[in-house]
Structure 1
Amino acid sequence: MPESILPVLAERKTCIRPTVAQSNLSTALVVALSILSIPFTFIATSIAYIVSMLTGNSINQTVGQPQGLGCRRTVLVTGARANKALTLLRAFKREGHRVVLAEEAKWGALTCARFSRAVDAYYSLPDPLSHPTVYIDALKRIVARERVDIWVPCSSVMATMVDSEAAKEIREESIGGAEGCQSFIPEPYVAGSLHWKDQFEVLCKELQCAVPYSKVVTSLSDAVDFLHAPGTLAKGYKYILKSLDLDDLGRDDLTLFPLSTREATYDHLSHIPTPISREHPFLLQRFLQGSEYCTHVAAREGQIVAFVACPSNPLLMRYCDVRTLPFGENVAYQLECWIQRFLTSYKAKLQSEAMDGPEYELTGHFSFDFIIEDSQNVIYPLECNVVSTASLVCIIAN
């Protein structure tokens, strides 16, 4: 890979976890600011509402047939609390489609998107983690009742595998519009091979993609023994700990292991929010020094139809298109080529194993995280989320 396309566009910054007092203080300040700004917000909103009623707006001024999906369709978007869902439903409405929105009941009352004029119907859903079967049944009822043609999940990464199972059942039961419902998410076999970090690493190796060295650990002693083994120490690498169970409590702990002594490593690992166990395995992944990127693609049957790459940012709402940065066009091109080669190779692998039915289609959102290591000039994949991400907004905005 040419060295010129690998500029350091963003330095890795260590995230310092805020204390409970700092979090409470920041929350209180935001609430206070919101209350103080009510008069100004009310005036601005009232003026905007009156003007839009008199002149129309970009949503209700759409004329003619939809351009992207052919005739008018009914589109279901789930995960209403996310800004990416609001962005998508507005885009569908501008194209002339009917939009149904849904969100988990615990978020429903606080979901602003439900009041958008782009929404034709809104539903509450059960918790997909606590009640996966009930959640899937509720989704199927919505798809059947509203005769949904297309379902685009924007749910959290926690619900990925539940959504993929729902997509499978919706297809198998032929629920939805006249031609059934197309679910824009891979079904369980494909989703699991990408969603779970250890399975994703195995798949990358099978497809001959470079991956950072890692070790799955299922106990505290496993982790400490590996990190302080003579062979590990001789390599001189540092490792970062990642939960294979999507542990939000500890994801901002970027401590590099091993620490100076075995005792220090043991003490730190024994105090992480979710203890290492067979029920909650972790991945010790070699720490790579370089520029990190978040990418998002929309793909249909293994072919990219939309792509964006963004420099990684600890504040997830501050993504920007890498193409706006110096040398960013080259970096974006290389990352897009990597993803297309990966999808093409994976599709070929599935077909060679006689896995070519609809349950093995590479259709949906694929959000790959990468790091381009400075010393080796190699693109390393870190993980893949089979859901829409905040960087999706960059695709639609550009």
Structure 2
Amino acid sequence: MALAPGEDLLRQLAPQVLGAVVRRYGHFDTAEDAVQEALLAAARQWPAQGVPDNPRAWLIRVAARRLTDLLRADQARRGREDTVAAWPVPAPGPATDDSLVLLFMCCHPSLSPASQIALTLRAVGGLTTTEVARAFLVPEDTMTRRITRAKKSIKDSGVPFGLPPSAERAIRLAAVLRVLYLVFNEGYVGTTGPTLQRVELSTEAIRLARLVRRLLPEDAEVTGLLALMLLTDARRAARTAPDGTPVPMDEQDRRRWNRAQITEGVALVSEALTRGDPGPYQIQAAIAAVHDEAARAQDTDWPQIMLLYEVLLAQGDNPMVALNHAVAVAMVRGPEAGLALLEPLGTDDRLAADHRWHTARAHLLELSGDLAAARAAYLSAAAKTMSPPQQRYLHTRAARLA
């Protein structure tokens, strides 16, 4: 692990901190990962903010906080069976995957849509409260209260464990699909943790999407979501460099993309689009298909992607869609046109603290030739993300422009 200035002190403290964390909490392997992240945080922060009065205690505190997040994620997965067992078991019937049943139960109509999604991400997806909060772009304490209230509502409802009747499934389906979408995204681009991708989450989301499609094969949005996941996940092998940092799509080795998944995804989205007015998952899948079917980055049909994002924008207020549309406009009409759309989005509270807006702005500024502003934007993006691989990538991009 490469450390920033002060590395001698950090190397000296590393074994002491690891020993202290292991003695206090156990879980050697997980503690080692947590300490590594604490050391990286110190290497980033101390040169700018100064070494704390008690650096050893600072490192132990940061490592303990991260260890708690890692253990919660692991315990949530293993605790799924306990959650299931706590609910009443129905009379024997057709075999159904418990994860799918739990998914629909967490999306009970007595909960608000936001609470349905948050609870399912914790109970089924195994995400930590911090990760769920970032997925919703809300403070962590707000999400903690939301999840606690949702758990109590489910417990008080007395609903038996099982799939809802057919008449209720459509009501819960929108929340179920949103949950799977967010779980997949957290697995594909992890907001925290030492690695960019958390394959177990994206794989689980695809598995559950297949189960939902088996249950509702005629629903075009279910099919569209599965297609979107497959077309996006198909690029997984080419998305990271050997050191774990992200590789932009235009620089990826497309020979490493999963052609079987692309073929299946294209077939699914083509099938879904024949069933009337397309919903947001079908449109996003169509955008992913345009990317995946381009043999080279320069062959990408950006005008079509731009138009597809405009259809998405017309369907609802989504700041990330607006951000992606601005990037597509830049690829069609030039970086200045994209920046003109991107800059106003920085005043949106849902994006102001998100590294993705700063990253997109840095990229377009770089394309426009304003290298000093691009470098500053890359550094701002690095300060906003909690993902060490993303931070390394953004610092590398900024260093190239120094």
TM-score under structure 2 length normalisation: 0.26
| More helix per residue | 2
Higher fraction of strand: 1
Structure with the bigger RCO (C-alpha within 8 Å, sep 6+) is 1
